[in-house]
Amino acid sequence: MTSERPIRLAVIGAGPGGYPAAFLAAEYGMDVTLIDPEEHPGGVCLYRGCIPSKALLHVARLLRESHEAAAWGIRFGEPEIDLDALRDWKDRVVGRLVAGLGTLARQRKVEHIRGLARFRDAQTLHVRRDGELVEVGFDAAIVATGSLPLAPGPLRVESPRVMDSTAALELRDVPKTLLVVGGGYIGLEMATVYSALGSEVTVVEMTSGLLPGADRDLVAPLSRRVEDGVAEVLLDTRVTSMEDVGDAVRVRLQPATGDEQERMVEKVLVAVGRAPNTADLGLEHTGVRLDARGFIEVNAQRRTAEPSIYAVGDVAGQPMLAHKATHEARVAVEAIAGRPSAFAPAAIPAVVYTDPEIAWCGLTELGAREQGIEVEVAKFPWTASGRATTLGRTEGVTKLILERGTERVLGVGIVGTNAGELIAEGVLAVEMGARATDVQLAIHAHPTLAETVMESAEVFFGQSPHYASRGRGGPASRGPIA
Ligand code: NAD
């Protein structure tokens, strides 16, 4: 788009899709208005999601390690949990980060209107701010309104005892008993937090395993640890009804086989997925189209069916991950700036911040099977890792998913402590089209957990110094190099 005056860009929603879009557009010289109801940019991720949950998960890890240290000869007394101070610390973490984004918005001269936006047409928004209506005209708009917790049928109960992730993160109290509906990202992360703080947690998952989309060999060590102290896990079980009975919630559970059961619990957390947030946006006044699941339809530039309107993040499709939103924001802004751009990642990392963490990127084994892609899998168990042994955390596994015939790294999966940090190397390997040989011959520091990525490649060639495997023979075995 070329014009005399700067492009007027309106960004709706200031989460990890919206604020990076606004900031980059400002760097490109656009005249940017960022619209969001909160005081500062940050969105659900900073205010009520990624950041507060990670602050609490850090505390959960500390509590758990302080117990486990007894096995290494270090005994601490029982921890005293000052819930008000803990909540305060979590809120200060959030406050500091969102205030920082507010300063960055001002420095970049991004106008932040605090309110809720609705499209009037494909060039105009109405923003409701403190009862008054502000009109915002735009040349281009980016919808980055995120998602909302789902609560279908019997799980929709109005009660302070039935929480969604937002309420769970407020940490009003630590219930004696907590039933978590959904063994996905949120259910497992919050089960980790509340059980560390002292709740007796039951996780109810309707499918036959936790984290249904992840490879089973990665989930197995987590499942063992969860069942071994964190929570009771009921698989293949549905919640058929919930009722607030005053001082408890009565929950009826239907296992796939067997009789209905009843549980009385102090609180319930419903974490059965999220839905794109498109209601009340006035999209009906534009040409924007939704798909069958309610996501905004976008092309490779994240442009919707209405040429002036783009959409990024949870509202524009799976996976609903903050970093995917941020990358899409770049793609959309560059397209609006008239630069060549497309959303075509080879690897989007997924990290579940449980204990141990699970992380994967690119192709999974499940995905390879579903798509009929022929792969070879090289796995390095952390029992053979010096670093994991020093940490007392040998339950981990690192694996490479390699294209058969070319050894190209198509995916990486890791379960183990700090897997969420380690997966970055996997993303780079997949995006750069690395082969197993590249990973094997890149020197990794010893002793580190990152070495397990290199050692997986060593396993592939049958040359791991720390783990005996029957591999295919490495570069050296292929004869002299010309
Ligand atoms: P999810 O899709 O990860 O998990 C929902 C789980 O609930 C699934 O295992 C599903 O089988 C189960 N389920 C659905 N209906 C059920 C029922 N009636 N009874 C019992 N189980 C049922 O969803 P979530 O945990 O709510 O998280 C939503 C999204 O938020 C995730 O998909 C993820 O994209 C994002 N998120 C990411 C992170 C992270 O990156 N670490 C953390 C939290 C949330």
Q: Which of 274, 326, 354 to mutate to test the pocket of ligand 1 (most atoms within 8 A of CB)?
A: 274
What would the mean pLDDT of 5-16 be, rounded to a whole number?
Answer: 98
pLDDT tops 50 at residue 478: no
pLDDT range class, residue 5, cuts 50, 70, 90: very high
Tens of pLDDT along 237-267?
A: 999 999 999 999 999 999 999 999 999 999 9
Residue with tokens 């086989």: 257
| CB-based pocket (< 6 A), ligand 1 | 181-187, 189, 204-207, 212, 238-239, 271-274, 319-321, 351-353
What would the mean pLDDT of 265-277 be, rounded to a whole number?
Answer: 98
Distance from residue 212's CA to the centre of ligand 1 (Å): 9
**Where in the chain do CATH 3.30.390.30 domains reside?**
350-476
pLDDT range class, residue 469, cuts 50, 70, 90: confident
pLDDT range class, residue 16, cuts 50, 70, 90: very high
pLDDT tops 80 at residue 233: yes
pLDDT of residue 476: 44
Distance from residue 140's CA to the centre of ligand 1 (Å): 33
pLDDT tops 90 at residue 47: yes
pLDDT tops 80 at residue 57: yes
pLDDT of residue 473: 67
What's domain 153-272's superfamily in CATH?
Answer: FAD/NAD(P)-binding domain (3.50.50.60)
Q: Domain 350-476, CATH 3.60.10.10 — does that match?
A: no
Residue whose CA is closest, atom 34 of ligand 1? 320
Q: Is 303 exposed, middle or buried (0-12, 13-18, 19+ CB in 10 A)?
A: buried
Residue with tokens 């991720």: 45
Q: Is 128 exposed, middle or buried (0-12, 13-18, 19+ CB in 10 A)?
A: middle
Distance from residue 180's CA to the centre of ligand 1 (Å): 11
Question: Taking the model in full, what pTM does it have?
Answer: 0.95
pLDDT of residue 479: 39
Give 70's contacts (C-beta < 8 A, 6+ positions apart).
none
Residue whose CA is closest, atom 4 of ligand 1? 184
What are the angstrom distances between the C-alpha of 475 and each of 321, 441, 457, 463, 471?
38, 9, 11, 10, 12
φ, ψ of residue 243 to 5 degrees: the values are -150, 130
pLDDT range class, residue 3, cuts 50, 70, 90: low
CATH architecture of 8-148+275-336: 3-Layer(bba) Sandwich (3.50)
Ligand 1 atom nearest 322 alpha carbon:
40
Tens of pLDDT along 131-141?
A: 899 999 999 99
pLDDT range class, residue 337, cuts 50, 70, 90: very high
Distance from residue 282's CA to the centre of ligand 1 (Å): 28
Tens of pLDDT along 378-406?
A: 999 999 999 999 999 999 999 999 999 99
pLDDT tops 60 at residue 482: no
Residues of the chain with pLDDT > 70, as a percent, come to 97
Q: Known catalytic residue: 323?
A: no
Using the 8-state DSSP alphabet, how is residue 349 labeled?
A: -
Residue from 40, 112, 126, 446 carrying the catalytic annotation: 446
Distance from residue 317's CA to the centre of ligand 1 (Å): 15
**Where in the chain do CATH 3.50.50.60 domains reside?**
8-148+275-336, 153-272
Tens of pLDDT along 351-366?
A: 999 999 999 999 999 9
Average pLDDT, the chain: 95
Q: Which of 165, 166, 186 to mutate to test the pocket of ligand 1 (most atoms within 8 A of CB)?
A: 186
pLDDT of residue 155: 95
pLDDT range class, residue 472, cuts 50, 70, 90: confident
Q: Would strands 249-255 and 237-244 be described as parallel, antiparallel, or unpaired?
A: antiparallel
